[in-house]
Amino acid sequence: MNKKFRLAPTLVSLVSVLIIAGAATALSIMGRPMFDKLIKPSFQPPNIVFPIAWGIIYALTFFACALYFSAAPASKKRTEVLIMLCLCAVFHVLWVLSFFVLALLFLMGCQAKPATDDTDSDVSIVEWEHSDIYTDADIQAAMDTVMTYFETEFKGCTLTQLCYPGDASADLFTEWAEECEADEAIVLYSSFDTDASGGDGSLEPNTTYDDFQWILVRDNGGTWEVKTYGYG
């Protein structure tokens, strides 16, 4: 078999693989918000691993198709290669569609709602942009922890808003993780009102506190724990 690459078959293989990769990537992006909200096991690889792995798979697919297509002795064999490539594309796109759309819709419906949903319905959660550091489930779990802690420890106060500051605060997360000797840290901002008693007496009565910080830590992807809170 002649292993020399020919221009036309190589270009056909390249364009075909790029179309397959583009369609699969588009479907993956559509399903990414749902995927981020899933509660995942601690042994899941980092997000950066997935594009690298798929990039290698697509590169090997291109190399195999271009090599075989270039070496095919007759047009009939080249047609067989194209048919196999098309079948590969169809099944690959169908798999991505079934996982990122149908399966995720099913899994999202099976996940339990946080226990704080009924008790903290008056708390305004500021919508956050997609994070490359934490999944939506991670951020929501941290907020649930704050709401539960606030309800228990801040008597006479009403929590009104919670906010994730975004990945721009990554350095702050790292500093707090090192300070608290934890694997991970996250910082949330809140607003709350005090009643006439000033909560437990340490806060100003009838006052609104804005940009009040909450520092939470965890180890090995476990449960968030409120480590400290306040200003500064």
Q: What is the pTM of this model?
A: 0.50
The pLDDT score that the predictor gives to residue 115 is 40
- pLDDT reported for residue 112: 40
Q: Are 95 and 138 members of one domain? A: no
Pick the last residue of a domain from 57, 82, 110: 110
Report, in angstroms and rounded to the nearest whole number, the Rg of the chain calculated over CA atoms.
26
| pLDDT for res 44 | 75
Domain membership flag for residue 179? yes
Determine the pLDDT at residue 70.
73
List the one residue out of 155, 83, 147, 141 whose CA is nearest residue 121.
Answer: 147
The span from the CA of 165 to the CA of 189, in Å, is 7
Q: What is the pLDDT of residue 68?
A: 74
Judge whether 100 lies within some domain: yes
Is there a single domain that holds both residue 206 and residue 175?
Answer: yes
Q: What is the pLDDT of residue 34?
A: 62
pLDDT of residue 2: 47
Task: Give a yes or no: residue 118 inside a domain.
Answer: no
Look at residue 111 in the predicted model and tell me its pLDDT: 44
DSSP character string of 83-104: HHHHHHHHHHHHHHHIIIIIIH
Give me the domain span that covers residue 73.
7-110
Please say whether the beta carbons of 151 and 115 come within 8 A.
no
Rounded average pLDDT per 10-residue block, the chain, 232 residues: 63 79 76 63 78 85 77 70 76 73 54 42 86 93 94 92 93 94 95 87 89 94 93 74
Structural domain tally of the chain? 2
What residue has token string 């691993």? 49
**Which pLDDT value is given to residue 186?**
96
Whether the CB-CB separation of 2 and 67 falls below 8 Å is answered with no
Q: Name the burial class of residue 124, with classes exposed (0-12), middle (13-18) and buried (19+) by CB atoms within 10 angstroms of its CB.
A: exposed
What is the structure's pLDDT at 87?
Answer: 81
